[in-house]
Structure 1
């Protein structure tokens, strides 16, 4: 929900930004408490895993690209994160790229990240940005601005039905 909200706000005209929606998202996060926050972090890691899994399968299906997801997606992700100097501290970028690489080789980003201890406050925005950038990359590839959100919604529906 948070990533979908960010995707929609980026594609809207800046003058149409909805401060009320941003306030609601902030209130939701602040009301969760420690366990709820851990669930949000695990959810972001799960999104990263699912987005990278889809990208890996898409690259395997189109051998014409002749590049795997690590070779194609990670450098672009790192470059973009490095350009976001106001909100992404440089020391968080290796963690974010490591999580994407872990997902690309089939490892859970949550389990991979746990080896480094608790999340730092300075890693929360980079985590959100990483999930957002992967979703946006998928949307560009598919030429469908809602594809990444729909993909997750369908996966959740299948899990609930199964």
Structure 2
């Protein structure tokens, strides 16, 4: 039986922009600049001020698509080693979230974990989240951080290739463009 949260019913969103933002965050982390530098924050603020509500929703859908794609890759990698992606990935990421109380307030951790579990179960994270009403302002930074943590986890699982997660998505997008 098909679920209303099946990915075939989900909007893909603006994956390219979401990936660009996540790649920027990863590069800052890998360069040892964990905090946002003032210039980067100014550019993010300018970008946020310039997008329409529809474009912003596209960006949210794009971030959820990234969660789905990364969890799908992780599920395949875990299954190849006889492991369950939810059991192997979610507790690690939730533990990391709990160590970042300024980014992940305790009340948003269940939602972020739910996005990961939905994607790990083969469901669309954005359709799963939509069941509970519109996104809240309190969920915006945690959503970005969740995608970043997930991409970094993919990079570590690939043998510490800092660009693997980004290449994974750009290759998939290129194949779509060619097909």
* Same fold per superposition (TM over 0.5): yes
Corresponding residue to 1:114 among 130, 141, 148: 130
Per the TM alignment, residue 61 of structure 1 is displaced from its structure 2 partner at its CA by 1.4
Cα-Cα RMSD: 1.7
Equivalent residue, structure 2, for 1:80: 96
Question: Is there any run of 5+ residues in structure 2 with no aligned partner, and where?
Answer: 1-19
Equivalent residue, structure 2, for 1:103: 119
**Which digits, 9 at most, give the CA deviation of each residue in 1:85-129, with x for residues without a partner?**
112111111011011111011100011011011000000111111
Corresponding residue to 2:69 among 40, 50, 54: 50
The structure with the greater share of residues assigned to helix is 1
**Greater shift after overlay, 51-60 or 83-92?**
83-92
Equivalent residue, structure 1, for 2:172: 155
TM-score by length of 2: 0.84
Provide the C-alpha distance between the structure 2 equivalents of 1:62 and 1:129, rounded to a whole number of angstroms: 27
Determine helix, strand or coil for the equivalent of 1:14.
coil
Equivalent residue, structure 1, for 2:105: 89
Question: Is there any run of 5+ residues in structure 1 with no aligned partner, and where?
Answer: none
Number of residue pairs matched by the alignment: 159
Per the TM alignment, residue 62 of structure 1 is displaced from its structure 2 partner at its CA by 1.9
Contact 2:65/2:125 (CA < 8 Å) preserved in 1?
Answer: yes
Per the TM alignment, residue 30 of structure 1 is displaced from its structure 2 partner at its CA by 2.2
Determine whether 1:134 maps to 2:150.
Answer: yes
TM-score by length of 1: 0.92
Corresponding residue to 1:9 among 11, 28, 50: 28
